[in-house]
Amino acid sequence: MHKTIQPKVTLVGAGPGDPDLLTLKGVNALAEANVVLYDALANEEILKYAPQDVIKIFVGKRIGSHEYSQEQINQLIVDNALTYGHVVRLKGGDPFIFGRGSEEIDYVESFGIPTFVVPGISSSIAVPAYQGISLTKRGTSESFWVITGTTSSRNLSNDIALAAKSSATVVILMGMSKLSQIVDLFQKESKGETPVAIIQNGTTPNEKIGVGTIDTIQEVVAEKKLSSPAIIVIGEVVKESNKLKGFYEEFLSKEIV
């Protein structure tokens, strides 16, 4: 007698890159998976928590290289759930922070397949934290913006111009290709001296960081050869990080001289 297939889908946030930042609930979901569909930004070490015989399908997207379109990924999730049972959709960071998780949930549920979400630690918060950058700090920053640098139409988000007018910390994901435009917007608000940190491959052994100001950050990026995936952090809290404070003290002393 064949066992009845019981399809279900669990969206699991894999965290920002360090596999130790996966939640226990994420580990438990992977342990019960029949199929895992995983992204480029999900650390492959995390797959060790899934059963040895689990079906693993890489569906990652990188700039200029898409293994599958979003529509194909949606269909793969449904097809595998109906065929094999429990599908874990492993997504970098948190699935609902620029992860298109809600689109995938909506599509799967349109087939009557039950869905569950395991939140992940968002890179927008964890990556700055690894560098000692507190996105909010009493007396310095009362709030923070998390903005996509590049919209689905490949344009710069209009929200960045609004954020540049505020005193908030600004965290920009997927913004490296638009860095010059971002710099222009902050310079128009007379914020050329505002501290900036750009962190590539945050929380991983391949992490690289460049720090400077709005006026200097493009030179820093060129010098350190920084590229995607990277997070841009703009605001006074950057120079108050214990890890980065020395750079800004030295930078300011040179300015005075």
Contacts of 150 (CB under 8 A, 6+ apart): 156, 157, 174, 175, 177, 178
What CA–CA distances, in Å, run from 7 to 28, 118, 129, 134? 17, 17, 38, 41
> What is the distance in angstroms between the CA of the first residue and the CA of the last residue of the chain?
83
Interatomic CA distance for residues 40 and 33, integer angstroms: 19
Enter the DSSP assignment of 215: T
Alpha carbon of 170 to those of 30, 138, 145, 159: distances in Å? 33, 16, 5, 10
CA distance 168 to 193: 15
Active centre residues (catalytic):
39, 61, 174
Query: Measured between alpha carbons, how far is 247 from 5 in angstroms, rounded to an integer?
Result: 58
User: What does DSSP say about strands 8-13 and 86-91: parallel, antiparallel, or unpaired?
Assistant: parallel
